[in-house]
Structures are given as structure tokens and as C-alpha cells.
Structure 1
Amino acid sequence: MSGQLGRIGQLGPLEQQLLARQLDEQTAAVFEADRTLRVLDVGLGRGVQALRLARAGHRVTGLESDPDLRDLVEKELADEPEEIRKRVRLVPGGSQDTGAHFLPGTFDVVLCHGELIQARDPGTTLAGLARVLDGGGLLSLLIRNDDALAMHPGRTGDWDAAQAALDFPERAGRAFRLETFTRGLAGIGTPLRQWYGVGIFGHDRLPEEDDEAERMLALEERAARTDPYRSVAAMLHVCGVRGG
């Protein structure tokens, strides 16, 4: 299952753009227009969403345990105008370290786009993410969809991976399913607001032609919110609001 586990950390351009559109939709629905948001990006990775949000005027803190990835983001920041560089702060640490670095209610938006799947105790980590959210704040999670693990390798003819996915044992507390996370979010006072599918049709590259790329994005975006298609996506983008 290592390929599936690593997939979230290596989102393609289409997936990143789709995630950005979904995130913008949720922030627009939850917060008033033109508000400068305090954002925490847990598992910063290459900083795609963090840099995008900083360019939009928000203050972003990136929590990342991998020094090489922090260096990559620092290099990206070096090419940005000073006003954008000032909006970004990088902090060494992993998803389990939010309580050690931040006080309760510090952020308006917390992103965790892949780190939960590697957490030793996802439930405790999830509670820690919600803890640093201010009241009415948005929690954005990207998780593996355990209900569809065999779909994508099976569709591409990777029979060994499909078989391994079907045989993948469900471990107590480690089931990455919408039902599980709906209960978990309610239990930590950050109930589910909306969820989307990501990676429904299995494409991770955008066509070079702008018209074709926009058509593909529009198709993925529509399917991402439509049953039953979103239920068989490779990943789920799950959004909750602190205090409901």
C-alpha cells in the first residue's frame, strides 16, 4: 500500500488546482469577503497552497518536519516580493506538534492535506488541529479514501496493487472513511460542513491547451461534488467548522 500512502504528498497540478478551488469556495462561504485570514498549513510540503494563500493577502504559518521541503519553500519565497515573504512563517514540526507550538484559537484556517495518514494517532492529531482553530474557523483535511482503494489501480491494470488494496486490513482507529471522519469531526466540536472527491478520473496532469485544461478541471470539479462519483475518488477533501 506504499504507493497509495505516498500519493497524497505528491499531488499533481490538476489535483492542486481542484483543491484550491474547493478551499476558496469554503473560505468564501465561512468568512466575510476581504478578511485577512490566519492560516496554518500542517505538512507544508512544497508550499503550493501556502504560497497561493500568502499571495492572496493572508498570513500563513507552515508546519513541516522535513528540512529539505522547508528549504524548497524558502527558495520559492526568495523569489517573491518582500510583502509576500513577510506573510509566511515556517516552523519545524509535524502534525502531532501543534499543541507544542501554538495556543488554542490561534488560526482561522487549518490545512492538513495528507499528514493525518502518517500520524501515529490520527484521532489525537485531529483533535490537536481543531484545538488551534478559533471559533468559526475552517478545518480542511485531505485524506485517503479507504472505500475506494482498489478502484484506481484496478482501472489502470495494476492487478497487484488492486489485490493489495482489497486485502488491506482495517485497523482500529485508522480507517480513512468519510463516515469515520464525520463522527470524529463531530466529536471534537468541528462538525462536517462539506466534502469533495479528489482524483476521481485518475488524471494528474493538465493538458497544455488552456481550453482543454479548463474543460478537464470543470469536469473534475463537477464530479467532485456529485454522488456517486465523489464516493469513489482516490482522496476525500473534508471540511469542518469549529463550533459548527
Structure 2
Amino acid sequence: MARQLDEQIAGRFPVGQRLRVLDVGMGQGTQALRLARAGHQVTGVEQDATMIAVARETLAAEPEGIRSRMRLVQSDGRDTGVHFLPGSFDVVLCHGVLMYVEDPDALLAGLARMLAPGGLLSLLVRNADALAMRPGLAGDWASALTSFDTTAYTNRLGLDVRADRLDALTSTLAGIGAPLHAWYGVRVFTDTAADGAELPADVETLLAAEERAGRTDPYRQVAALLHLCGVRGGGAP
């Protein structure tokens, strides 16, 4: 996931350019902090008080140069227009958020407005076209059958959430002025791994297999998650 994002950034912006990054629904700030360490100016938005407290604690332990490049805002991701001017960012991240939003179109339109021309919108969503894979591979045939014709599912936290279809998001991104530029599959082979499972000794080989599958049809089409990259104004890099 991080490698895919870095690839898109490297292909779109000059080497060494300090980018203005907005991470909406940043959670504990792992991705935001990684980008700040890489030299970018990062603003993280998170609504959950516990999550943003963890992010602040982690950031406090960083060197001053990194702390000065990162700003944390406690807010709903749908309120970006309240805090920021249109076109204020080169890169906008929204990873693992859309599944909690019943109607994401307004959120996505707001995020697209935050992008400067040529800016990159990075989304990580649950793949609605592959919802039957996890229960099917676990031998839960009844749940697999009910997963084919729905976008609703229960996540590992026990929450009832929703997934997105690639074709629907492609249409949405075109409609908000940030057409789909590239997409990848995430967790093609590893979605059924238990939470907290120990990493295998050949983890680098595993990651290489996941990376290859995430870029290759038909494997990426059945990934648990989809990583979509839209570009404000479209066009090739």
C-alpha cells in the first residue's frame, strides 16, 4: 500500500518536491507520519479522540523538524471545507474511511475540491465485488452466498459497514473531477490471516507476491481492499 502510494507520488511530482498532504481519517497517524518523515508538509484529520491522542503522543516523540511539518486537526472528514481552502493540497489520502460512510459521494466531492490541479486523491476501500471471498475461503458457505448481491458486511470489529464497487467509484471519481488514474488490489492472499498473527520467516517473499498480485489481473479483482488513485483534472503524469 505504501509502496503503491509512493510510486504514484514519484510518477506525478518532481523528485524532492515538498508536497502538501491531507490525510482524512488518519487513525493513529501512521501514514501521515511516514510522509512527514519523508519531508512533506502533512495535515492529519481524525474525528476519534482516542486515535488523535495516540497520534499526538507519537508525534511528540519525533524531532522538531518533523513535528513542524505535521499538523493534527480533530474533525469529521466531511468538514474539510470548513478548515481548508479549495486547492490547498497536492495529495489527499482517505484510507479505510469510506466503509463507515453511508453515502460517500459528498465526502469524496469535498476531498476533490481540496486538490490543486494535477493533485492526487488516494482511496483505500473495501472491495464489494469480492465480499464472498473471505467467508468462502473460511468454509462459511451460507455467508458467502449472501455476500454476492450486497455491499454490506460485518468487519472484524463486529461493526456493520459497507463496501464499494470499482465501477461505481470510477464513475464517481470522473464526476467529481478526479478521474481514476490507477488502481491496485490490497490483501489478495493475506485477507484470511488472523489478526496479530506472527509474520512468516519469508515475509519479504510474501510481500513480493502480494505486490505482484495487487497489480495483476485477475488477482487484483478479488482483493479484499482496493487502492484507487484519482488525479484532479485527469490526464497522464
**TM-score, structure 2 length as denominator?**
0.88
**Which letter maps to 1:191?**
P
- Distance change (3 Å), C-alpha of 1:192 and 1:90: same
Equivalent residues in 2 for 1:214-229 (5 A)? 214-229=204-219
1:98-142: CA deviation from partner (whole Å, max 9, x where unpaired): 111111000000000021222242111110000000000000001
Match of 2:84 in 1: 102
1:52-85: CA deviation from partner (whole Å, max 9, x where unpaired): 0011000110110001000001111121111111
Match of 2:178 in 1: 190
- Report the Cα distance in structure 1 between the residues aligned to 2:13 and 2:165, rounded to whole angstroms: 27
Query: Which secondary structure state, in structure 1, belongs to the residue aligned with residue 170 of structure 2?
Result: helix
- Report the Cα distance in structure 2 between the residues aligned to 1:33 and 1:147, rounded to whole angstroms: 36
Count of residues in Structure 1 that have an aligned counterpart in Structure 2: 221
Query: Unaligned stretches of 5+ in structure 1?
Result: 1-18
* Greater relative contact order (Cα < 8 A, sep 6+): 1
Please tell me whether residue 126 in structure 1 is matched to residue 108 in structure 2.
yes
Please tell me whether residue 112 in structure 1 is matched to residue 102 in structure 2.
no
**Which letter maps to 2:114?**
V
- Report the Cα distance in structure 2 between the residues aligned to 1:96 and 1:242, rounded to whole angstroms: 18
Deviates more, 1:115-124 or 1:57-66: 115-124
**TM-score, structure 1 length as denominator?**
0.85
* Counterpart among 21, 27, 30 of residue 39 in structure 1: 21
Higher helix share: 1
1:139-188: CA deviation from partner (whole Å, max 9, x where unpaired): 00011110000101210234454344235367xxx761111111111111
CA RMSD, 1 decimal: 1.7
**Which letter maps to 1:91?**
V
Q: Report the identity percentage.
A: 60
- Distance change (3 Å), C-alpha of 1:94 and 1:159: farther
